[in-house]
Amino acid sequence: MTDTLSAIDLTAAPCRPVRFGEVGVEIERRPDGVVIVSARAPLKPYDPNLAATFRRHADATPDRPWLARREGPERDWTRLTYGEGWSRVASVAAWLMDRGVTADRPILVLSENSLNHAVLIFAGMVAGVPVTSVSVNYSLLSTDFERLRHVVDLIRPGVVYAEQGGLFAAAIAAVAPDDAIIVTAAPGIPGAVDWSEAVGFPAPDLSAHIAALDPTKPARYLLTSGSTGRPKAVIHTMAMATGNTHSGFQAMGDAFAWDRQALDWLPWSHIAGSSLMTNITCLGGALYIDDGRPMPGKFDETIRNLKEIPLRYYGTMPNGYAMLADALEADGDFALRFFTELRAMLFGGAGLPQALHDRLQRIAVRATGRRFVFVSGYGSTETGSAISYTWWEDTRVGIGLPVPGAAFKLAPCDGVYEVRVKAPSVTPGYFADPDQTAAAFDEEGFLRMEDLADFHDRDRPEGGLYFAGRRAEQFKLMNGTFVIAGRLRDSLLGRLAGVVREVVICGDGEAEVAVLAWADLEGVRRLTGGADTDHPAVVSAVAQALASHNRDNPGQSSRIGRLLFLADPPDPEAHEVSDKGSINRRMVLNRRADDVARLFAGEGIGPA
């Protein structure tokens, strides 16, 4: 961060006004230490039938934009209105029913976010056939197709859709069932049905059929990230999707412009991207599909889109925010354009470092004189996306409090709390896996999130909760002391801002805690004029940051012995990175065992 930027006093800057919902909080403290946290405001009534809601938007505002994506050699925006979108949904649904596709043979989508992909998701809802969208990495970055084969064996798809046939031909040949109908919008797979056949199919009047749909039946199977095992297929229903939309919108009010326009890159194979698409559709907004990605060489597309599409609301993952901060800090005109309309930004999934939070706020203040509302959310694939938000103005990074209709059960665990939840958007279970379903819920029907959290201030629970890490990321040192890796990560990223972009906490069975790290190359260049992490200025910055951390955290479970920079970036194909951009700690440690050995042999940078 530049000296000018770091000098900005955030406490003196006003915040853009945002109207939040009236939510409130109720606290029940039990004798065994369990705390039940719930919203005081009840969830307002809503229609759980998402297909019927889409149909009403199409009838009432047929010319209103629904989706847009850049297409063709000129990469111009192609837009699809609610009226056009519904016409295509009805045709594809009628084609599915005519072909005899039923719920016991779901639809599998291999390709990226697109207009056709969205149409197929809603056509499946209308036809009563669940849709499973998988990461394109399963097909395009894999050579053995092991994860894709696992999904195919699990759901036994009756229809497989690939936007670009040729790109996905090898994956389809390797794993698709012999009797599956292969559909593609571009040539490349012999015998495949052309998308035009489905989207051009004559649709009868479906009004009575749509009104009779059961919104509690499976509409989608969304895969877990697989960060703690093989991916599981989470049952999603229309009632879950609409419950998530209305509870979130009731809590967040003006902060979430789901009924306006949004830009998003997150894949619909992941709950964060999928839920935003259904939230926007449920409320009649417009979604601009961003083909950019928060990675070198692909983020320029996101910047181009952000410069064209004025937004009141924006959300991405922490690595995306880090790259956005670099671009905004370097381009004052872009920062002014971006922050002029913006009211709120959202983060979720991987924790956002406080230093990055403050850096973005300072860029906004420098550009417009005002802070924006930085909202955090908390949820999972099993909860239909976020079920808690910071539905108030807050300067601290946290996960907020439950939305209307939701309740958290916080069970004491190693000095913090294990999180369990109930909400209308919580899944009924995992497809074809009754044992995992039974294990996921406790004796009171609360879903076990396998996460840890605590209150910012236990005497003031209305101040919200913060994320303390995944239970799976906890480990013990040689002497049996527990280390909570998530909490350490957040502390270190704040102190190492400007030289380190991400860390992995190490020390399972060792005498001390140490860290593997990926450099913030833009920050290193600003500091040294190059990209050498062995530069004395970088070594000094890291050593001073570790020393500062250790002075404030002298205990064996939190003191850091050394930090070792990794030369190779995290590898999505090796499952070191999820689709949402978070780091899979266990996979990194397994794959980079040699680096871990070097770290505990004494290589790297120690505290000053």
DSSP 39-50: ESSPPPP----H
**Which residue range(s) make up the domain with 525?**
477-600
Helix (H) or strand (E) holding 386: strand 385-389
Q: In whole angstroms, give the CA distance from residue 251 to residue 256.
A: 9
Q: In whole angstroms, give the CA distance from residue 525 to residue 544.
A: 19
Q: Is residue 243 part of a domain?
A: no
Looking at the fold, whether 85 and 191 belong to one and the same domain comes out as yes
Q: In whole angstroms, give the CA distance from residue 225 to residue 380.
A: 10
Alpha-helical segments (H) within 99-237? 115-127, 137-140, 146-155, 165-175, 195-199, 207-211
Looking at the fold, whether 412 and 504 belong to one and the same domain comes out as no
Domain end call among 197, 214, 231? 214
For 303, other C-beta atoms within 10 Å of its C-beta total 17
Q: Is residue 583 part of a domain?
A: yes
183 close to 159: Cβ distance less than 8 angstroms:
yes
Looking at the fold, whether 302 and 390 belong to one and the same domain comes out as yes
Q: What CATH number corresponds to the domain at position 515?
A: 3.30.300.30
pTM of the prediction? Answer: 0.88
Q: In whole angstroms, give the CA distance from residue 402 to residue 309.
A: 31
Q: Is residue 606 part of a domain?
A: no
Q: Is residue 228 part of a domain?
A: no
Q: In whole angstroms, give the CA distance from residue 339 to residue 446.
A: 40
Residue 432: φ, ψ to 5°: 55, 35
Q: In whole angstroms, give the CA distance from residue 272 to residue 264.
A: 10
Q: In whole angstroms, give the CA distance from residue 282 to residue 361.
A: 31
Looking at the fold, whether 332 and 430 belong to one and the same domain comes out as yes
Pairs from 93-98 (Cβ < 8 Å, separation ≥ 24): 93/123, 93/124, 93/126, 93/127, 93/203, 93/206, 94/201, 94/202, 94/203, 94/204, 94/206, 95/123, 95/197, 95/198, 95/199, 95/201, 96/123, 96/124, 96/127, 96/129, 96/159, 96/198, 97/127, 98/201
Q: Is residue 366 part of a domain?
A: yes
Helix (H) or strand (E) holding 420: strand 416-422
Looking at the fold, whether 551 and 459 belong to one and the same domain comes out as no
For residue 88, the cross-strand partners are none
Looking at the fold, whether 439 and 556 belong to one and the same domain comes out as no
Domain end call among 438, 471, 504? 471
What string of H, E and C letters represents the secondary structure of 431-480?
A: CCCHHHHHHHECCCCCEEEEEEEEECCCCCHHHCEEEEEEHHHEEECCCC
Helix (H) or strand (E) holding 55: helix 50-60
Closest CA to 77 of 86, 85, 68: 68
Q: In whole angstroms, give the CA distance from residue 280 to residue 274.
A: 10
Name 503's Cβ contacts closer than 8 Å, sequence gap at least 6. 489, 492, 493, 496, 515, 516, 517, 518, 563
Per residue in 5-58, pLDDT (tens digit) is 888 999 899 999 999 999 999 999 999 999 999 999 999 999 999 999 999 999
pLDDT at 351: 64
How many angstroms separate the first and last alpha carbons of the chain?
22
Looking at the fold, whether 306 and 375 belong to one and the same domain comes out as yes
Looking at the fold, whether 87 and 72 belong to one and the same domain comes out as yes
Residue 385 CA: distances (Å) to CA of 236, 261, 278, 476? 11, 19, 11, 31
Strand ordering across the sheet containing 513-519: 500-506, 513-519, 560-565
427 close to 274: Cβ distance less than 8 angstroms:
no
Per residue in 121-140, pLDDT (tens digit) is 999 999 999 999 999 989 99
Query: What's the structural domain count of the chain?
Result: 3
270 close to 278: Cβ distance less than 8 angstroms:
no
Domain end call among 179, 214, 249? 214
- Amino acid 574 reads A
Q: Quickly tell me which residue has 């200025």 as its tokens.
A: 537
pLDDT at 2: 56
pLDDT at 349: 47
124 close to 130: Cβ distance less than 8 angstroms:
yes
136 close to 111: Cβ distance less than 8 angstroms:
yes
Per residue in 266-285, pLDDT (tens digit) is 999 989 899 999 999 999 99
Residue 565 CA: distances (Å) to CA of 233, 302, 490, 545, 573? 36, 28, 17, 15, 21
324 close to 339: Cβ distance less than 8 angstroms:
no
Looking at the fold, whether 308 and 440 belong to one and the same domain comes out as yes
Closest CA to 101 of 75, 84, 123: 123
Q: Is residue 581 part of a domain?
A: yes
Looking at the fold, whether 105 and 207 belong to one and the same domain comes out as yes
pLDDT at 246: 98
For 546, other C-beta atoms within 10 Å of its C-beta total 23
Looking at the fold, whether 531 and 451 belong to one and the same domain comes out as no
Q: Say if strands 474-476 and 482-484 run parallel, antiparallel, or are unpaired.
A: antiparallel
Q: Is residue 547 part of a domain?
A: yes
Looking at the fold, whether 314 and 463 belong to one and the same domain comes out as yes
Closest CA to 132 of 44, 33, 220: 220
Q: What CATH number corresponds to the domain at position 111?
A: 3.40.50.12780
Counting as low any pLDDT under 70, the low residues of the chain are 1-3, 225-229, 348-351, 572-573, 578-582
Q: In whole angstroms, give the CA distance from residue 386 to residue 383.
A: 7
Closest CA to 263 of 327, 187, 342, 186: 342
Q: Is residue 261 part of a domain?
A: no
Residue 545 CA: distances (Å) to CA of 27, 541, 599, 608? 38, 6, 18, 8
Tokens for 158, please give them. Answer: 């009756």
For 355, other C-beta atoms within 10 Å of its C-beta total 16
